Amino acid sequence: MLPAFFSSLSEVLQSGPLTLMLLGVAIGFVVGILPGLGGSVTLALMLPFTFGMQPVEAFAFLLGMLVVTDTTGDITSTLFGIPGEATSAAVVLDGYPMTRRGEAGRALGAVLFSSTLGAWIGALALALAVPVIRPIVLALGPPEFLVLTLVGLTFIATLSGKSMLKGLIMACLGLLVSAVGIDSQEGIPRYAFGQLYLWDGIDIVPLVVGLFGGAEVLQIMLSRGSIAQQEADTGHLAGVRQGLVDTLRHWWLLIRTSLIGVGIGVVPGMGGSVAQWIAYGHAQQTSKHPEEFGKGSIEGVIAAGAVNNAKSSGSLIPVIGFGIPGSVSTAVLLTAFLITGIDPGPEMLTTHLNVTFSMVWVIVLANLVAVVASFALLKPLTRLSFISGPLLVPFLLLVLTLGSFTANNSFNDIFVMFGASALGVACIRWEWPRVPFLLGVVLGGIAERYLFLSYSLFGWGWIDRPIVLLMWAVLASVVLAPVLKAIRRRRARTKTEERV
């Protein structure tokens, strides 16, 4: 297997695949920075260009582009508070507050370095996992996937701002939105109110763009200042170096969150939107300074950056091994297998092993190129945050509009983005968390699908399957741990007051 591993590197380094990879990296770099124009949309647009390419060339181009959007999406999230990608939303929570207090360089250094190291850890995991993952994934059924989804939802509690109840209510609202559209079981239009547009459900892209981006644009319009409000150390490379040192200092967090990314990425349908919040929640729960999360915690930035890229490698594992896409992007990528005449599955571990390992090398090399380019352009990128706010407004409105519209080429998506923006502003104004709502929307369809599959296969007996029971225990601990902690703290406070 080792000879195949190294010979695939020489294949990737040949002029054809290398040029195409660099072209893909360049496109991915720009697309990642532009908010809303997602990697999956661009991947779909570029897919027709892979006709006639050799498999290694096609994947060097497409995968090079895809993995770089994850990395550079973090730049927009950090500098503007607008997620370049839906999967970069968690970076906003801490990266943007750091920018606003004048630590853009440090935040970018940390997020880009952790993204790259996360990608490399993910690539290593991909190389090691391919031969062994098959029996593990086959051991899990829909009930286990359902409870895994619910565990993802319960992490909402750790992300729900100042009140767990508010977080849970927003999650239910998100689930309600996810139910809009034709029911896949019976074909009944649910919550469509006679509108044909709603039969397809509400697209996640305009929702994310509006929920996070719309509110930021309005804030810039209201404050009329630059995005960064302090002139501290931004623009200075010392800040970047500090970010690199911070990343290395939190090496154990980096490895843990990268492995979470790989693990969640492996689960079909869970995708990066879920992985980032789980990793972020884990980082907060295990941090010595959880109170800093959401206010510019460097640990939050590192966790969100690392998980983002690691999950891309993880999501390739079920695609390569079983032809099961783990996310929208890998679903599009799966089409490239068909275009290049390759059947995902055992062939990828035998006759096309070189293609599989070439993917590993593309992830490693593309991220290296992207991060070097990002650091080279970091100073001008960092200075972007000091541009006068009103100067940015027309451009940001343009990308918000395009990002929403290009999802389905429908004007209705712009209305959705508009509505999501209003919801996002209301959430901020009256302190209701947006993240649980988004997670509810993302997970709703997945959870319902697994629920019906579980019931169809096992009746209600799926609830007490051994692995499911174990996952229930994890779920209960996630919910109960903060409640018990709060009760203990209140008792301690009462005792202190009595003493006083």
Partner 1 sequence: MSGTDTTRRSPTDVAINVALLLVFVFGYLLAEDWSLRAALFPQIFTGVGVGLTLLRLLLLLRARRRGAAGPDVTLVDNQAEEESEDIEYVFSHADGRTWLQALAWIAVFFVGLYLVGLFVIVPVFSFAYLRAVARTRWWAAAIYAVTMWAVLYLAFGVLLRLRMPAGIL
Quote the CA–CA distance of 234 and 229 in Å, as a whole number: 11
Q: Of the two residues 398 and 469, which places its CB atom closer to partner 1 in the complex?
A: 398
Kindly tell me which residue out of 54, 219, 286, 335 binds partner 1, with binding defined by CB under 8 A: 219
Q: Which x/- pattern, by CB under 8 A, does the window 402-421 give for partner 1?
A: x--xx--x-x--x---x---
Quote the CA–CA distance of 61 and 67 in Å, as a whole number: 10
Q: Which x/- pattern, by CB under 8 A, does the window 242-281 give for partner 1?
A: ----------------------------------------
How distant is the alpha carbon of residue 47 from its chain centre? 22
Residue type present at position 66: L
Q: Is 161 in the site for partner 1 (CB under 8 A)?
A: yes
Site for partner 1 in 197-216 (CB under 8 A): 215-216
Kindly tell me which residue out of 14, 238, 452, 477 binds partner 1, with binding defined by CB under 8 A: 452
Kindly tell me which residue out of 237, 244, 451, 463 binds partner 1, with binding defined by CB under 8 A: 451
CB 414 within 8 A of CB 420: no
CB 272 within 8 A of CB 265: yes
Which of 106-114, 131-139, 171-179, 342-350 is the region at the interface with partner 1 (rule: CB under 8 A)? 171-179
CB 32 within 8 A of CB 376: no
Q: Of the two residues 490 and 495, which places its CB atom closer to partner 1 in the complex?
A: 490
Site for partner 1 in 276-305 (CB under 8 A): 284, 290-291, 293-296
| H or E stretch at 189 | strand 189-190
Residue type present at position 467: I
In angstroms, what is the minimal distance from the CB of 142 to partner 1? 14
Quote the CA–CA distance of 79 and 387 in Å, as a whole number: 11
Q: Is 139 in the site for partner 1 (CB under 8 A)?
A: no
Q: Residue 404: which of 34, 25, 30 has the closest Cα?
A: 34
Q: Is 93 in the site for partner 1 (CB under 8 A)?
A: yes
Q: Of the two residues 17 and 181, which places its CB atom closer to partner 1 in the complex?
A: 181
Which of 185-193, 195-203, 268-276, 318-326 is the region at the interface with partner 1 (rule: CB under 8 A)? 185-193
Residue type present at position 160: S
In angstroms, what is the minimal distance from the CB of 208 to partner 1? 15
Kindly tell me which residue out of 318, 433, 439, 454 binds partner 1, with binding defined by CB under 8 A: 433
Q: Is 183 in the site for partner 1 (CB under 8 A)?
A: yes
How distant is the alpha carbon of residue 15 from its chain centre? 32
Which of 50-58, 349-357, 424-432, 470-478 is the region at the interface with partner 1 (rule: CB under 8 A)? 424-432
Q: Which x/- pattern, by CB under 8 A, does the window 32-51 give for partner 1?
A: ----------x--x------
Kindly tell me which residue out of 2, 139, 188, 196 binds partner 1, with binding defined by CB under 8 A: 188
Q: Is 500 in the site for partner 1 (CB under 8 A)?
A: no
Q: Please tell me the count of residues contacting partner 1 according to CB under 8 A.
A: 83
Q: Of the two residues 10 and 388, which places its CB atom closer to partner 1 in the complex?
A: 388
Q: Is 490 in the site for partner 1 (CB under 8 A)?
A: yes
Site for partner 1 in 306-365 (CB under 8 A): none
Q: Is 121 in the site for partner 1 (CB under 8 A)?
A: no
Quote the CA–CA distance of 75 and 88 in Å, as a whole number: 9
Residue type present at position 173: L
Q: Is 388 in the site for partner 1 (CB under 8 A)?
A: yes
Q: Is 390 in the site for partner 1 (CB under 8 A)?
A: yes
Kindly tell me which residue out of 1, 13, 138, 222 binds partner 1, with binding defined by CB under 8 A: 222
In angstroms, what is the minimal distance from the CB of 215 to partner 1? 7
What six digits make up the tokens of 89?
Answer: 């939303």
Phi, psi for residue 263 in degrees, rounded to 5: -60, -45
Question: 3-class SS at 240?
Answer: helix
CB 420 within 8 A of CB 211: yes
Q: Is 483 in the site for partner 1 (CB under 8 A)?
A: yes
Q: Of the two residues 316 and 423, which places its CB atom closer to partner 1 in the complex?
A: 423
In angstroms, what is the minimal distance from the CB of 270 to partner 1? 18
Q: Of the two residues 108 and 157, which places its CB atom closer to partner 1 in the complex?
A: 157
Which of 7-15, 155-163, 261-269, 301-309 is the region at the interface with partner 1 (rule: CB under 8 A)? 155-163
Look at the block and give the residue holding tokens 């919550």: 191
Three-state helix/strand/coil letters over 360-422: HHHHHHHHHHHHHHHHHCHHHHHHHHHCCHHHHHHHHHHHHHHHHHHHHCCHHHHHHHHHHHH
For 464-467, the CB contacts below 8 A with 24+ separation are: 465/141, 465/143, 465/144, 467/139, 467/140, 467/144
Task: Say if residue 467 is exposed, middle or buried (CB neighbours under 10 Å; 0-12, 13-18, 19+).
Answer: middle
Quote the CA–CA distance of 452 and 74 in Å, as a whole number: 36
375 to each of 68, 327, 334, how far by Cα in Å? Answer: 14, 29, 32
Kindly tell me which residue out of 160, 234, 257, 367 binds partner 1, with binding defined by CB under 8 A: 160
